[in-house]
Amino acid sequence: MDDAGSQAWRTAKERWRNGPGDHGADVVLQCRGHDTALATALKALRPQGVVVDLGLYQGGAPSVRLGEEFHHNGLSLVCAQIGRVPRGVAGAWPRTALAAVTLDLLRERGDDVRRHLVTDVVGFEEGPGLLADLAARRLPAPPLQAVLRFDGQVAGAP
């Protein structure tokens, strides 16, 4: 695990103290799909906390040690997938209702999402360069979330 990951879970444990032996985050959203990020997310939780995992682990997750934080602290790991509603509420949440609520949330709290979750906004034409820099690890700090901005007509579009 890199120093940044090591410091992230320590910071959560130090910053959020709920009582003796009860330190850490209630919920962690894990979006990277790297086993070390999932291990860090589990370490950042308070007892009985929940990781909502949006990652896909194509190479498995050998760095995740479920006997440590997971079992000892009674943690939960929930897989979140775009477009899939949990079985127990699927009848009440068809895809159209889920999309409508998502749009309502973005209308109401979009500025908060932008301020707290989106670290970089780049022009559409800059997108390939950003991806190349990410793949080559040329950025001093990778974006938490990058969004492509469309200023008008896309070059070459009809």
What domains are defined for the chain?
A: 1-81 (3.40.50.720)
pLDDT in tens, 49-65: 999 998 888 888 898 98
pTM: 0.60
Give me the pLDDT at residue 1, please: 46
Residues 93 and 66: their CA atoms lie apart, in Å, by 32
**Contact at 8 Å (CB) between 68 and 90?**
no
**Rounded (5°) CA angle 143-147-94:** 115
